[in-house]
């Protein structure tokens, strides 16, 4: 690492992957170094800088051995005092005449402790500052199982017997398997054969697994073997809790109870489509089923804390313990399907509760967009929880009407990405290919392909040239949707909009979003798009925030 790179790390301050330690020999023991290495290894890995104060002042590392520090001895000391051994890379870098110890720590595949039996992990505190805290046993168990590729549901339930299984729950599962969506082969099997087919039987003195208890256990066996198997349902109105229920039931029964609680609150709006009456629910049924099933199946039952299901006037939110399974990110959520517990996921699929092809999340997106709602929001998810929020307020009936009419008249099914493009253009106004690609987190090539298909179908058209070229919904879309929005769109093209805005700024010195909307006869979101285009193009600068926000020519002198 170069001195410049060390300086850059120091300037950014301590983070989840960067830790500072004072370099004075009296303040920096071998134990403190090893503790910090174990802490970083139990997170995402990172860099430990010796000779930097917590506030970022570079004070230097005092010699560790007589008159100097040996980097290879630092490496050996850390290797010998961590369990399992952590192989770090240590080097000494001179910054402004001071020696800095730089220790590159890899992320551990399994929990790492010190030879003194101390386990720490890296996390952010309540105000967002990084810190090293004790690593709880249940979290180490979860990380250890994941590292070994072991399924929690396959773990033997020590001491469990068939008396811990609720016969009614096996019958519930058998009935589900006999339905149209279920695996009818399982419906004809005996209890023991069902557990073997689902890989819920263990060998030896303990014939049942934790998965068997989760799916079919009695209330007492759940409490005894898996006390973390709890779901809390909460309904709020105007911020106040009007209903709350704690559910400690086997997973199939818990799912049914949650479906009933939401179904009784899931109002439906009727839409006339020709001679047909179409119901548009507050939350699409498939979205409810998939989000709840995902929370029950994919949560980490080794972690303390309930699964939380919350419903209010604006949002339906489901939060479960444990971050995304290994390999799943916000970027690949629509393409990848990797259950934390393949055993539990398979049981729910064979019962016909979730999609057997593992396409539940894309189906959620599809159903929400068809119901005139925004996409599910996973932005609240963290490294130890997954949270999905689904809008439950009024639907965009115009989009619902268009999708129904378009597919009925053309016989062509709109793909998920086409629905996403339509929704993005409807909600934010005209956008370039690059803007759509960034907003939808999709490659530009895929966006161009879908825009071509939507253009051929007469749904989307591009106007303008070069960097001013924008895609927007056509008059045909708004005619089918029975909306007057296109009347405002067709009056001015993007080039003319830009000229009108810049001419106004030149004459009056500044412009607000409301004035852009009035000047160009646009909606608030479309006016925002025009201003963003001019800011990105270097023609305007934003001054002020929120209600005081206004736009001036780029390079205009600051305000007093």
Q: Is residue 348 part of a domain?
A: no
Same domain assignment for residues 22 and 125: yes
Q: Is residue 343 part of a domain?
A: no
Q: Which long-range contacts (CB under 8 A, 24 or more apart) does 65-73 make?
A: 69/99, 69/101, 71/101
Separation CA 110–CA 101 (nearest Å): 26
**% of the chain exceeding 70 in pLDDT:** 91
pLDDT number for residue 485: 46
Confidence band for 547, pLDDT divided at 50, 70 and 90 = low
Q: Which residues contact 481 (CB under 8 A, 6 or more apart)?
A: 398, 399, 401, 402
Same domain assignment for residues 388 and 402: no
pLDDT number for residue 139: 67
Task: Determine the average pLDDT of the residues in 499-523.
Answer: 80
Same domain assignment for residues 273 and 306: yes
Same domain assignment for residues 128 and 159: no
Q: Provide the CATH number for the domain around residue 512.
A: 1.10.10.10
Look at 25-34, 67-76, 93-102, 460-469 and tell me which has the smallest mean pLDDT.
460-469
Task: Determine the average pLDDT of the residues in 297-318.
Answer: 90
Strands 231-237 and 307-311, by their bridges, are: parallel
Look at 10-19, 52-61, 171-180, 330-339 and tell me which has the smallest mean pLDDT.
330-339
Please provide the DSSP assignment of 388-443 as one string: EEEE-S---HHHHHHHHHHHHHH-PPPPHHHHHHHHHHHHH--B-HHHHHHHHT--
Confidence band for 80, pLDDT divided at 50, 70 and 90 = confident
Which residue has tokens 């010190």? Answer: 114
Q: Is residue 346 part of a domain?
A: no
Look at 151-160, 203-212, 441-450, 466-475 and tell me which has the smallest mean pLDDT.
203-212
Confidence band for 486, pLDDT divided at 50, 70 and 90 = very low
Q: Is residue 144 part of a domain?
A: no
Strand order in the sheet with 315-321: 240-247, 231-237, 307-311, 315-321, 385-391
Which residue has tokens 């301050």? Answer: 13
| Domain containing residue 106 | 3-135
Look at 41-55, 352-366, 535-549 and tell me which has the smallest mean pLDDT.
352-366
Of 3-17, 373-387, 521-535, which one has max mean pLDDT?
Answer: 3-17
Task: Determine the average pLDDT of the residues in 179-199.
Answer: 88
The one-character DSSP state at 335 is T
Q: Is residue 331 part of a domain?
A: yes
Same domain assignment for residues 268 and 315: yes
Please provide the DSSP assignment of 64-79 as one string: SBTTB--HHHHHHHHH
Q: Is residue 443 part of a domain?
A: yes
Which residue has tokens 């932005």? Answer: 379
Same domain assignment for residues 528 and 465: no
pLDDT digit string, tens, across residues 331-355: 788 887 778 888 898 899 888 887 6
Task: Determine the average pLDDT of the residues in 499-521.
Answer: 81
Separation CA 308–CA 380 (nearest Å): 13
Q: At what angle do helices 30-41 and 71-80 cross, to 10 degrees?
A: 70
pLDDT number for residue 114: 93
pLDDT number for residue 141: 67
Separation CA 60–CA 76 (nearest Å): 22
Task: Determine the average pLDDT of the residues in 11-17.
Answer: 91
With H, G, I as helix, E, B as strand and everything else as coil, classify residue 60: coil
Task: Tell me how far the alpha carbon of residue 535 is from its chain's centroid.
Answer: 30
pLDDT number for residue 501: 87
pLDDT number for residue 205: 61
Please provide the DSSP assignment of 473-497 as one string: E-HHHHHHHT-SHHHHHHT--HHHH
Same domain assignment for residues 304 and 255: yes
Same domain assignment for residues 362 and 402: no
With H, G, I as helix, E, B as strand and everything else as coil, classify residue 89: strand
Side-chain-side CA neighbours of residue 327 (13 Å): 9
Higher-confidence position of 439 and 128 = 439
Task: Determine the average pLDDT of the residues in 166-178.
Answer: 91
pLDDT number for residue 487: 41
Task: Determine the average pLDDT of the residues in 31-60.
Answer: 93
- Mean pLDDT, all residues of the chain: 85
Q: For residue 520, give the nearest of 533, 536, 538 by alpha carbon.
A: 533
Confidence band for 276, pLDDT divided at 50, 70 and 90 = low
């Amino acid at each position: 690492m170069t001195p410049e790179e060390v300086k850059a790390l120091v300037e950014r301050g301590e983070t989840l992957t960067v830790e500072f330690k004072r370099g004075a020999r009296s303040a920096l023991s071998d134990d403190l170094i090893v503790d910090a290495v174990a802490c970083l290894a139990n997170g995402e890995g990172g860099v430990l800088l010796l000779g930097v104060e917590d506030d970022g002042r570079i004070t230097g590392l005092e010699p560790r051995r007589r008159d100097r520090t040996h980097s290879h001895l630092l490496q050996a000391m850390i290797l010998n005092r961590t369990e399992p051994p952590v192989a770090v890379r240590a080097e000494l870098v001179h910054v402004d005449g001071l020696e800095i110890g730089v220790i590159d720590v890899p992320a551990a595949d399994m929990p790492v402790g010190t030879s003194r039996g101390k386990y720490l992990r890296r996390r952010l505190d309540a105000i967002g500052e990084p810190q090293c805290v004790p690593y709880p046993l249940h979290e180490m168990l979860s990380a250890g199982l994941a590292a070994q590729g072991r399924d929690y549901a396959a773990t033997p339930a020590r001491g469990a017997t068939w008396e811990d299984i609720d016969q009614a729950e096996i019958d519930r599962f058998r009935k589900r398997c006999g339905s149209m969506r279920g695996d009818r082969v399982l419906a004809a099997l005996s209890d023991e054969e069902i557990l073997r087919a689902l890989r819920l039987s263990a060998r030896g003195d303990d014939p049942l697994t934790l998965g068997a208890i989760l799916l079919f256990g009695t209330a007492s066996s759940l409490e005894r073997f898996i006390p973390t198997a709890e779901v809390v349902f909460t309904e709020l109105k105007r911020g106040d809790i009007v209903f709350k229920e704690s559910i400690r039931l086997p997973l199939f029964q818990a799912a049914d109870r949650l479906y009933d609680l939401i179904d009784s609150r899931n109002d439906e709006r009727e839409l006339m489509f020709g001679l047909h009456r179409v119901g548009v629910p507050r939350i699409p049924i498939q979205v409810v089923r998939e989000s709840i099933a995902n929370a029950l199946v994919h949560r980490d039952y080794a972690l303390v804390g309930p699964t939380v299901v919350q419903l209010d006037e604006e949002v339906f939110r489901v939060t479960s313990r444990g971050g995304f399974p290994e390999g799943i990110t916000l970027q690949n959520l629509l393409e990848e399907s990797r259950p934390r517990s393949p055993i539990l996921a398979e049981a729910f699929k064979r019962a016909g509760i979730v999609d057997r092809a593992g396409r539940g999340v894309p189906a959620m997106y599809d159903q929400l967009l068809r119901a005139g709602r925004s996409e599910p929001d996973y932005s609240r998810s963290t490294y130890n929880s997954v949270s999905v929020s689904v809008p439950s307020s009024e639907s965009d009936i115009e989009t619902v009407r268009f999708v129904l009419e378009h597919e009925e008249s053309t016989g062509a099914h709109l793909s998920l990405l086409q629905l996403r493009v339509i929704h993005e253009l409807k909600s934010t106004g005209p956008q370039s290919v690059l803007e759509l690609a960034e907003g939808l987190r999709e490659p530009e090539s895929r966006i161009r392909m879908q825009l071509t298909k939507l253009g051929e179908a007469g749904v989307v058209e591009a106007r303008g040239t070069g960097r001013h070229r924008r895609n927007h919904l056509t008059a045909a879309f708004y005619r089918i949707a029975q909306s007057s929005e296109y009347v405002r769109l067709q009056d001015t093209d993007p080039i003319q909009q830009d000229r009108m805005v810049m001419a106004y700024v030149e004459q009056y010195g500044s412009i607000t979003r409301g004035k852009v909307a009035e000047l160009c006869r646009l909606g608030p979101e479309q006016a925002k798009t025009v201003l963003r285009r001019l800011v990105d193009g270097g023609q305007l600068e934003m001054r002020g925030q929120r209600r005081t926000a206004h736009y001036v020519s780029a390079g205009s002198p600051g305000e007093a």
